[in-house]
A and B are shown apart, each in its own frame.
Chain A
C-alpha cells in the first residue's frame, strides 16, 4: 500500500499552519494502522525550518518546493506542483485543512485526478467495506465521517475505487500531538522551475491585507461561551471579565454572533471552530447539535441556563439553573475571594 500525504499550509509568518500539524498527527496514526509512511508536501518560499518543525510529528518524507512565485499561495502553481508529486507518488490518502487554501486547492486536485474528496470531516478512521452489488470486499479504506444536512445526520463516506482518498478537515478538529522529538525523516526537493508553466500565472495578487488572528480560542484551556441567552453586548462584558481573571477565552454560539454580541471569530460549532478545553462554561446556550459538534469533547462542561430542559444540560457535568447576569458576577466574586 502507498503512503499518506498531508498538504502543509504555509502561514503568513512562513511557518506551517496548525491545521496541517493536526493533520500530520492524525496522519501518523492512520499510517500506523495501515503500516505505511507519512509524507508532507510543503509548497512556498523560504519556509522557516520545515525539517525541524515537521519531523517531530513523525514525517518520513518532506517534499519541499521553494520558489519565490509560490508564496503567497495562488491556486494554479500550487495545483501543478501537487499534481506532479501525486502523479509520481500515487498516495493512498491525501489530507488538507478545510481552510481558505485547502478548500481552494483540494477540489481542483481531486477533479484533475478524478478521485473522491470529502469536505469538512470531523473524524477519520480505517475500516473495511463489502459492496453487495458487486460482491467485492475492500480492505482498509478511509472512513471519512462528517455531519451533513445542517448537522442533523452524520455520514460515513468512502472512496472504494479511486486514489488518493482525499479529505479536508477543519482547524481544531484533530488533536496536535508530537510523535517523537528525536524522529528524523528525509527531505526531497521539488524542482518547481521544471513544473511551473506560464499559464499557471493567469491569476496574480495585486494587494493583500492579512491579519494575524488575534483571537485564539482553540488553544485555550478554559472557555467561557455565551449564547443568545446572554441577552446583550453589555452582558457579554461580564463573560470577558470572568475570562480575564481565569485566563480564559470567550466563545459564542451562532445566535450570539448573529445578534452582534461578539465577533464571528469566536463562534464555536459546526460552522465555527471546534474546541476541546479542560473547562467549558456555556452561558445562556441551548445546545443545538451544530453548537455541540464544536464543544462536546470538552473535559468538563458547566451550563448556566434559566431553562432546566435546555439540551445542553444533557451533556453538562454541572447545570446551574439561573440567570447569566446574576451567576457570572457571583463566580467572579467567589473566585476572587478563594484565590487569595
Chain B
C-alpha cells in the first residue's frame, strides 16, 4: 500500500493585504479587490507533506480543496511544487457552508480516497481564522488529531512523531496512523515551484476549465490523463443534502457591521518640557500613575 497523504487547502481572499480599495464607499468589503491566494498556513501543510515524500519516495501527496471552480488554481500551484494530483470539490450545494458542513464534505472526499495515512491541513484559514475545519474533519473521520504541528520528527507506515507549537511551549507527541495533523505557521515555509513540474502541469485543467478553453485539447488529455484535475460534486460524494451548505450549517450570520471609529475629544498637545511636565503632574495627581 502506497503511503498516501491528503493535504486540505483552501483558496482565500488575501485579507492580510487589505489595501485602501478593499473597502467600498458604503463600507462593505470589496471582495473583488482582494486577490485570491493559497491560504498561507496550507502552504506550510503542503511542505510537511512534500518533506515526507522526500523521505518516503513511494509516498503520494494529494491536494483536496473545496471551493468555486477558480479554486483549481491552488491545485495547480500545489502540483508545481510537488503534489502528485488534486481534487476539486465543487457544487452549488456547498455554498454557505460553515466549518461543520465544510468538514462533512471534506471528510466524505477523504473517505473516497481511503486507504490513507495522513490528512494534513493548515491550522487556520485567514478569511475566518477559525482553526476548526482540521479538528472537525478528524472527528468525522474518527481519527486522532495533532494540532499546531511545527515539525514532523519521524514517520513510518504505523506511527508518526510530531513536535507541536503551543502558546507556552512545545510538546512532542506520538500517534498511530491514520491521523490528522494541522500545521502551524511556525513550521518551515513551502518550497518554491519546480521548473520541470511547472512545464509538466501548466496545462492541467478541470473539466469545467476545459469547457471554457478555445483550443481543443482532446488529444493532449488523451495522451496525458494526469493533466485532468478531477471535480467532485455532492453526488459524487454521496452526500446527504441536508448536511451541506446553509442547511448543514448550524451557525448563521445574524448581522454584519463595518468597523467604525468612535471619536473621543482628544486633547492635542506639543512636546515641550512644560507641556510634558504638566501632563505628568496631572496623571500623578489623579492617581493614574504613581
Residues of A within 8 A of B (CB): 12, 72, 74-76, 99-100, 103-104, 106-108, 110-112, 114-120, 129, 143-144, 147-162, 202-213, 222, 246, 248, 271, 278-279, 289, 296, 299-300, 302-304, 308, 311, 313-323, 326-327, 330-331, 334-335, 337-339
Contact = CB atoms under 8 A, between A and B. Distances in A.
B172 A75 contact: no
Contact of A335 (B98, B103, B270, B280): B280
B284 A117 contact: no
10 pairs of A and B residues whose beta carbons are closest in the complex: A322-B271, A116-B250, A150-B15, A116-B251, A210-B169, A107-B132, A111-B136, A111-B139, A207-B172, A107-B135
Given A154-B259, A320-B279, A110 B136 contact: yes
A273 to B, nearest CB: 11
A311 B260 CA distance: 11
B32 interface: no
B37 interface: no
A290 to B, nearest CB: 10
A327 B167 contact: no
Interface of B: 13, 15-16, 18, 22-23, 29, 98-100, 103, 126-136, 138-140, 144-148, 161, 166-176, 179, 249-259, 261-264, 266-271, 273, 275-277, 279-281, 283-284, 288-290
B144 A75 contact: yes
Interface majority SS (helix, strand, loop, mixed), chain A: mixed
Contact of A143 (B29, B127, B130, B254): B254
B174 A203 contact: yes
A331 B268 CA distance: 16
A153 B257 contact: yes
Given A155-B256, A210-B166, A321 B128 contact: no
A206 B161 contact: yes
Given A153-B259, A313-B266, A335 B271 contact: no
A132 B261 CA distance: 31
Nearest to A296: B262
Contacts of A158: 251-252, 254
Contacts of B290: 246, 335, 339
Given A129-B254, A152-B18, A157-B251, A206 B173 contact: yes
Given A206-B172, A339-B290, A100 B267 contact: no
Given A111-B135, A152-B15, A321-B268, 8 more contacts: A107-B139, A116-B98, A150-B18, A152-B22, A206-B173, A207-B172, A331-B280, A334-B276
A160 B253 CA distance: 11
A79 B98 CA distance: 21
